[in-house]
Chain A
Amino acid sequence: MRNNIFFANTIRFLLLFLAQIFIFNHMNFLGTINPMVYIIYLYWYPIRENRALFLLTCFSLGLSIDLFSDTLALHAMATLTIAYARPVIMRFCFGVNYEFQTFSFKNTTRIQRVTFMALLVLAHHLVFFSLEILSLSHILLLLKKLFLTSMLTLLLCVLFSSLFTLETE
């Protein structure tokens, strides 16, 4: 069982990483919108796993995408931040339920899951674009990018999550 989860996560890591650098980084929808679909890794990651390991894998996922897109440490910083904030966001979306052993995604509503995903995406993109643009004079550009990219990422993430539903957790 444990091995299984580890194996599934490694495969997911690799596939999302490859999909991000070869497909989603080159989508350029409407000229400049590149969704960051790898965030779904954090959505799929099991809840009761070692948190330190979770932070480390998220950091390395972000960093490896950074290497390939020449945006050094922006993806890493953003992914790490939402990885750290995930428990807080989960408590906000699923209520105290989430802390019980019996909790699983199965007995949550669809709205709750989409909210969870939306908050992850928003937090990630906020950190990412603020660091990328890093100037107050471009605040409109920041908001525009934040809004449009979040919409597209969220849409794709929701599609992916319903396409590959989780069975084991």
Chain B
Amino acid sequence: MQQIVNFILRYRNAFLYIFLASIATMLTIRSHSYHQSKFFNSSKWLTGNIYSISNNITSYFSLKQENQVLAEENNRLRQQLFNLKKGGALDLDTTEVNFSFIKGRAIKNSYASPRNYITIDRGLKHGVQQDMGVITPKGILGIVENTSKKFSTVQSILNTRSNINAKIKNTNYFGSLIWNAQRYDIVQLVDIPRLVPLVVGDTIVTGGMSSIFPENIPIGIIRKYELNSSQSFYDIDVTLFNNMANIQNIYIIENKDRKEILTLETQTNNAQ
């Protein structure tokens, strides 16, 4: 007994190392295999508030650029609005709309690691839920992963675990949008069949196959494409419209039908 105690005492640092290392490994593996950890992420009260303070200061530096982006977006939307084919005013009845939007701001952004998360200043209090889509004035940004009362973390499209349904504009050829962790302005579109005629410069938009994003949200343009190793699908490099290094204003998309779609899908799956 004495010897065991002596042994433990002599190697107490090694034991401490092993103990702490196993905690760290456990946390790492959990965050690799499943969603980002529920308890430790930057959507929490302390981290969120600290980032919020820092963002209050740093956001001034890109204010002019950001105003420009928003003004351009307004311009584009006005053009669409006044050129509507319908004639008459827009339907202002909001009970029938499918998608509603929550505006917010990114308070922390990262794009250098293989798994990037963005923290935004909207949370449960403002109606943000897990798995809502997030876009910027220029294009797609990511999907909400964790929420707290006032903040949320967004899994960026610059995340090796991200997988978003996308298609080539004005066609119905769907593929998956993934990221190979190489450059922060380029993502990859895979699973587009070989028979599809592609042109460098074609626009890529979100597909309608998911209940997260509405159809036709801009993503980027084709930079180059080549056949993958099996020679039957294309690997396409897509240059993003978004400047992922400078994210300020964002919109969170709520799909009113999502619950219904998900219930239906689970029912169908269970019936099989």
Contact = CB atoms under 8 A, between A and B. Distances in A.
Nearest to A137: B180
Interface residues of B, number: 42
A66 B40 CA distance: 9
Contacts of B40: 66-67, 72
A62 B21 CA distance: 12
B104 interface: no
Interface stretch (B10-18, B204-212, B229-237): B10-18
B16 A31 contact: no
A82 to B, nearest CB: 11
B115 A77 contact: no
Given A68-B47, A141-B182, A80 B245 contact: no
A80 B42 contact: no
Contacts of B17: 55, 80, 84
Interface stretch (A4-12, A37-45, A100-108, A127-135): A127-135
A66 B27 CA distance: 11
A98 B217 CA distance: 62
A71 B115 contact: yes
Of B17, B23, B41, most buried by chain A (CB within 10 Å of CB) is: B17
A25 interface: yes
B185 to A, nearest CB: 9
A67 B115 contact: no
A76 interface: yes
Interface stretch (B28-36, B133-141, B190-198): B28-36
Of A22, A59, A69, A70, most buried by chain B (CB within 10 Å of CB) is: A70
Contacts of A120: none
Q: Looking at chain A, what size class is its interface with the partner chain? A: 20 to 34
Nearest to A53: B16
A22 B51 CA distance: 9
Contacts of A28: 111-112, 245
B183 A31 contact: yes
B181 interface: yes
For the residues of A in contact with B, the DSSP-based class is helix
B42 A68 contact: yes
B112 A34 contact: yes
Contacts of B21: 77, 80-81
A72 B113 CA distance: 12
B112 A72 contact: no
Contacts of B25: 73, 77
A32 B112 contact: yes
A66 B153 CA distance: 14
B16 A52 contact: yes
B20 A80 contact: yes
Contacts of B32: 134
B164 to A, nearest CB: 19
A85 to B, nearest CB: 9
B214 interface: no
A138 interface: yes
Contacts of B199: none
A73 B110 contact: no
A80 B115 CA distance: 22
Contacts of A62: 24
Interface string B81-119: 000000000000000000000000000101111111101
18 contacts: A28-B112, A31-B112, A32-B112, A32-B184, A33-B112, A52-B13, A55-B13, A55-B16, A62-B24, A63-B24, A70-B41, A70-B117, A73-B25, A73-B31, A76-B20, A80-B17, A84-B14, A138-B114
Interface of B: 12-14, 16-17, 20-21, 23-28, 30-32, 36-37, 40-42, 44, 47, 50-51, 54, 108, 110-117, 119, 153, 181-184, 245
The 10 closest A-B pairs by CB, nearest first: A73-B27, A77-B24, A70-B117, A73-B24, A32-B112, A72-B31, A84-B17, A73-B28, A76-B24, A59-B20
